[in-house]
Amino acid sequence: MLSSSQTIREITSHQPSALALFERFEIDVCSQADKSLREACSELQLSLDQVLEKLQECSDRESGAGPGDPATLSCAHLIQHIVRVHHQHLRQNLPRLVRYARKLTDQLGDQACEFTAIEKLVGQLHQDLWTHIRKEEEVLFPFIVRMEEESALAYLAEHACFRSVSHPVLMMVQEHEVASRIMEQIRNCTGNFTPPDWACPTQRALFEGLRELDVDLREHIRLENDSLFPRSIQMESKLRGE
């Protein structure tokens, strides 16, 4: 249970997502780490109630439930869930994790060369997935939704920018495999996302954020590879009368 008497260090240790919120409120998690939330808010003339409310909202979002059985959802609704939950998770968290990794490299790079490797891997993951989700949202997902909404007579594959939906699907699956390999390298570099006892709040937040990203990305890939993509290929076959 969140309390205003908890120190900034205690809050970020139990709720690493709080670091991003503290950044927005300009609470320095390093210099103010041992101050209570009440003291930090008082120094910066922040509304303690507002900060506590936002922290609780972050906690509630982290404990949110998934979509249930994806087989019961239409492709359109499944896509909506993927974009709103998993793509949004990437958009909100990857840039933040890149900043944390860069900050640690600047501060500790000479003493701990693994941070340089982590920064490069997180940066590559950010670049690859940013392009990946844009292609899905701008090209592949709209095409799948149109297939689901149109009848066999109305469906004309030649209007698409690819001959078959299986072609972009294969590309997306291959990109999923690349992202998974990068995450595996990150797991190895971070000791399975386990920070040392002496880790600062930024390193703890980075490792926990990467752990959450790993879990979310696995579910993201599972929904697309195991449900959305096979169903879209099957749907196209039916529309073509194959």
Do residue 55 and residue 164 come from a single domain?
Answer: no
The secondary element (H helix, E strand) that includes residue 3 is none
How many domains does the chain contain in total? 2
CA angle 220/130/12 to nearest 5° reads 70
Q: Which of 40, 62, 84 is the last residue of a domain?
A: 62
Three-state SS letters, 108-125: HCCCCCHHHHHHHHHHHH
Do residue 15 and residue 134 come from a single domain?
Answer: no
Q: Which of 18, 39, 62 is the last residue of a domain?
A: 62
Question: What tokens does 117 get?
Answer: 């490797």
Do residue 133 and residue 192 come from a single domain?
Answer: yes
**Domain extent at residue 172:** 72-239
Q: Which of 24, 42, 62 is the last residue of a domain?
A: 62
Do residue 55 and residue 88 come from a single domain?
Answer: no
Do residue 19 and residue 104 come from a single domain?
Answer: no
Do residue 104 and residue 218 come from a single domain?
Answer: yes
Do residue 35 and residue 101 come from a single domain?
Answer: no
Is the separation of the CB atoms in 23 and 191 below 8 Å?
no
Do residue 138 and residue 23 come from a single domain?
Answer: no
Chain position carrying tokens 């594959």 = 157
DSSP code for 68: S
Q: Digits of tens for pLDDT over the chain (242 positions)?
A: 678 888 888 888 777 678 778 888 888 887 788 899 999 999 999 988 888 888 877 776 665 545 557 777 889 999 999 998 899 999 989 999 999 999 888 887 666 667 889 999 999 999 999 999 999 999 999 888 888 877 654 555 555 567 788 999 999 999 999 999 999 999 999 999 998 888 888 888 899 899 999 999 999 999 999 999 999 999 888 877 76
Residue 76, helix vs strand vs coil: helix
CB count within 10 Å of CB 173 equals: 13
Residue 22 lies in a domain: yes
Nearest-angstrom CA–CA distance, 212 and 207? 9
Report the predicted TM-score, pTM, of the whole model to 2 decimal places.
0.74
> Which residues face 7 on adjacent strands?
36
